[in-house]
Amino acid sequence: MHPNSKSFAAIPLAAAKHALDPARGRRETAQYIADMALEMRNLAKGHGLKALQGLLEVAYYEAFTVATQAELPEGELERLQRMSRASAG
pTM: 0.60
d(CA 55, CA 53): 6
Q: For every residue of 24-85, which 3-state class applies, written as one string?
A: HHHHHHHHHHHHHHHHHHHHHHHCCCHHHHHHHHHHHHHHHHHHCCCCCCCCHHHHHHHHHH
Q: Give Rg (Cα) of the chain.
A: 18
- Give the pLDDT score at 21: 72
- Give the pLDDT score at 75: 87
More confident site: 24 or 84: 84
pLDDT tens digit sequence for 21-70: 777 888 999 999 999 999 999 999 999 999 999 999 999 999 999 999 87
